[in-house]
Amino acid sequence: MMEKTLVIIKPDAVKKNLIGEIISRFEKQGLRIAALKKIKMTKEQAKGFYIVHKERPFYESLTDFMSEGPVVVMVIEGDDAIARVRKIMGATNPAQAEEGTIRKDFAENIERNAVHGSDSPQSAAYEIPYFFSAIEIL
């Protein structure tokens, strides 16, 4: 099924000049960039984005991290895009990520883990319009 998913290149990876490398990994697998921009989130914007995690012990630390510097947000489109993006990213915890995945290669730890991707169609339906209006998605 054709799907769209929201991907974020997180502040740790942007700081290390990995934007091109990470985008290439998705494009090489035949996924298409439908929208893309560089932004810096405020703490409040990061809290709104990760509102589903508000009761988690890592919510404060995660939202501090996500607002510490610029990120690249993008909409990626393709057949089965949500699952394929998650496979290319690897497990949330880089210690458990498979060889050749973005997180295995570039994540620092479970929090500073280089990338985010929507985990379900429901998440994508919240996350895509959080950053992009319809006329920005091509």
In the list 3, 68, 105, 111, the residue contacting ligand CMP (rule: CB under 6 A) is 111
Give the separation between CA 63 and CA 95, rounded to whole angstroms: 22
What string of H, E and C letters represents the secondary structure of 66-115? HCCCCEEEEEEEEECHHHHHHHHHCCCCHHHCCCCCHHHHHCCCCCCCCE
Shorter beta-carbon distance to ligand CMP: residue 70 or 134: 70
In the list 62, 71, 85, 97, the residue contacting ligand CMP (rule: CB under 6 A) is 62
In the list 33, 92, 104, 123, the residue contacting ligand CMP (rule: CB under 6 A) is 92
Which amino acid is residue 133, in one-letter code? S
Residues at the contact surface with ligand CMP, assessed by CB under 6 A: 53, 58, 62, 92, 110-111, 113, 116
